Amino acid sequence: MKILKNGLLFHLFPYLLTLLSGVLLNAQVVLDPPAAPITNSPSVESTPSNRQPSTIRVSLSITGDNGLDSIIRSYLSRDFREIPDVVITDDDPMFTIHIVAMDTKIGPNAVRSGYAMSIVTTFKDLRTKADIYSDHFLRVLPLDDLESSCREISAKIDGSLFEDERKFTSKQE
């Protein structure tokens, strides 16, 4: 295939996966994300009376083929449950983690070689209740690395997005 010889597919893959994520999640797709992650700001109405600063409510929205979605959900739920101030719930979440996962295949016989995951995080605007894009990253990994990659994903999200929320909430109190 000519497109593969030119390396164009390699350069377009992140954009194609982003578009696929947006289509599957029925979300607005932003191809040029902001330079820094968006966080809640003081201009967004946020007072101790309408927030629970001690709990970060998170929803997991995972799509995957061949049961991959339930495996990833299990790993991430376990990892997030180990964080004292994080609760996995679909009831009024502050943050949503959207994941589209698929098997990667190699060779003419399409032998399964690993996984590809597109991870998009959003947070809820307290005034409009709209989901606001926060971050997007991709993971391509071998077959034997799914559990440790899920652990890395939860650590990355906790260390950046959730930590920003903790700092913001502590300033508001």
Digit-by-digit pLDDT tens for the chain (173 residues) are 334 444 444 444 455 455 455 544 444 444 444 444 444 443 344 333 444 447 999 999 999 988 999 999 999 999 999 999 999 999 999 999 999 999 999 999 999 999 999 999 999 998 998 999 999 999 999 999 999 999 999 999 999 999 988 988 888 76
- Which amino acid is located at 37 in the chain? P
SS3 111: strand
DSSP letter for 29, please.
Answer: -
Q: Tokens 């032998």 — which residue?
A: 111
CA distance 63 to 102: 8
CA distance 128 to 123: 12
Count of CB atoms situated within 10 Å of the CB of 144: 8
Q: Which residues contact 102 (CB under 8 A, 6 or more apart)?
A: 64, 65, 68, 115, 116
Question: CATH number for the domain including 114?
Answer: 3.40.50
**Residue of 5, 96, 12, 99 lying closest to 56 (CA atoms):** 96
Cβ–Cβ under 8 Å, residues 157 and 28? no
**Residue of 54, 60, 94 lying closest to 74 (CA atoms):** 60
Q: How many domains does the chain have?
A: 1
Residue numbers of the domain that contains 78: 2-172
pLDDT per residue as tens digits for the range 138-167 = 999 999 999 999 999 999 999 999 998 898
